[in-house]
Structure 1
Amino acid sequence: SDNRSESEVLDLFGDLNVLTTDNLQNVVFMKLWFQVKLKPLLPFVSKEFLSNLGSKDLSCATYQTIVKGFNDEFPSLDKINHLIYAHFIYIFLSRNDTSDPGCVTITNGNEEWLKVNYGQYSVF
C-alpha cells in the first residue's frame, strides 16, 4: 500500500541509528531534523519510530524541539496525533532515567510546562 511505502521511506530517511549522543542533545540539529528535513514525512511516522525516539537519550530542550515540530504540523497529523502522544510524548515524559524526569525544572508554572512539553497534544 502507499502508506507502507511512505513509512518505509521515512524509516530509511529517518533512521534513528544515525543520531549520535551529541546530536540527541543538540537543539539546532534536532530543529533542523524535525522542523525542516523530516517535516514533509511527519504524517507517515510509525508507532515504532515514535517509541524508538521516545527511548533515546534526549535532553528536555531537544525533546521540546521535537514536540514543537510535531505541534507545528498538528492539523495535518490528525490521523496519527494519538500515536505521537502515546508513543513519544507520554513515553518520554514518564521516564525516570533522564537528567530531568518530566522536564519540570526549566519551566515557570503548569501553563508553560504544558505548552512546551505537550503543546496541542495536551488535548489527549
Structure 2
Amino acid sequence: MPKTIMHLMINNTKAFIHHELLAYLYSSADQSSLMEESADQAQRRDDMLRMYHALKEALNIIGDISTSTVSTPVPPPVDDTWLQSASGHRSGRLGHHPAAWGFLASCGDPGEGPRSPGCPAGRRHCPAGVR
C-alpha cells in the first residue's frame, strides 16, 4: 500500500510541475534570458572541464605505469628463531657465561681494598696470573 501512495504522489507532483510550473516559467520571462550563462558560471564550467581532462589524462598515465611496471614478489621473512635460542646459551656479557662464574668468584667482594688491574670493574682482588 505505501508504494501505491508514493507512486500516486510522485505522478501527481510530476504532472503539476509539467503543466503548471513550466507554463508559469515560460510565460513570466524571456526564453532567451533563461538560457544565458553568467560569467561566473562560464568560468566555473571551464574550470570543471579542464579538471576533468587533467584527471582523465592522469588516470591514463597511472594505468600505463601499472601495466608496464614489472614487480617481483617480496621474499618470505627469514626464520631467525634459532638465533634467539642460541643467544640464550651464549651471552656476550662475561657475567652470564658459566665459565666466568669461577673467575668472578675468585676476584673477591667489591669492598675489599684496591682493585687488581685484570679484574672487572667493581672487583678488587684477582687470582695470580689472571689478567
Return the TM-score normalized by structure 1: 0.16
Find the structure with the greater CA-based Rg: 2
Where relative contact order (Cα < 8 A, 6+ residues apart) is larger, the structure is 1
